[in-house]
Structure 1
Amino acid sequence: MDLGSTIKDIRKQKGIRQNALAELCNISQTYLSQIENNQKEPNISTLKEISAQLHIALPILFFLSLNEADIPQSKREVFQIISPTVKTLIKDLIADE
């Protein structure tokens, strides 16, 4: 799971500066930077606030963060088939906001 990079990508796609998102979430810019660089794992309340400020549902944020290693071997083939399409659709929807 690459949650930090996903948060960073969405933030940049929405044109939000790191310091602005940190302020909206009531966390330090340093902490947000550590989250985005996968150096710190935020608690669920911080993730909820980040997703709320990015206007993206938390489950969608989690889905966008998934990679093949996160999926059980028995379901990887299905994940490989649907994931690219679903992720592209979600990213297109985010871009249209």
Structure 2
Amino acid sequence: MNIGKVIKDSRKQKGLTQTEFALSCGITQTYLSQIENNAKDPNLSTLKVISSNLDIPLPILFFMSLNEEDISPEKRKAFEIINPSVKSLINEFFRG
């Protein structure tokens, strides 16, 4: 799971600096940087604030951060097939 990359990419697509976004989330820029670099795992309440400020529902944020390793081996083939289409649709809907 790479939730930090999804948060970083989404923030950048909104044209926000780390400082601006951290301020809107009520966290420090340093903490946001650590989250975006997967050095710190934010708690659920912080993730809710981040997802709200990105205008992306938290379950969507979690889905976008899934990697193949997060999926059980017997379901990976199906994930490989549907993941690109679903992520593309989500990008169009929530980031477009």
Can you list the C-alpha shifts for 1:1-50, whole angstroms capped at 9, x where unaligned? 00001100011111121111100110000000000000000000000000
Matched, 1:83 2:69: no
Unaligned 5+ segments in structure 2 are none
**Is it true that 1:3 corresponds to 2:3 in the alignment?**
yes
- TM-score, normalized by length of structure 1? 0.95
Q: Compute the RMSD of aligned alpha carbons.
A: 0.8
The DSSP-based 3-state class of the residue aligned with 1:45 is helix
TM-score, normalising length: structure 2: 0.96
Cα distance in 1, alignment partners of residues 82 and 14 from structure 2: 25
Paired with 1:60 and 1:94, the residues of 2 have a C-alpha distance of 9
In structure 2, give the amino acid aligned to 1:77.
K
- The alignment-based identity, stated in percent, is 59
Aligned length: 96
Residue number in structure 1 paired with 2:55? 55
Query: Residue by residue, what CA displacement relative to the aligned partner does 1:32-81 show, whole Å, maximum 9, x if unpaired?
Result: 00000000000000000000000000000000000100000111111000
Match of 2:22 in 1: 22
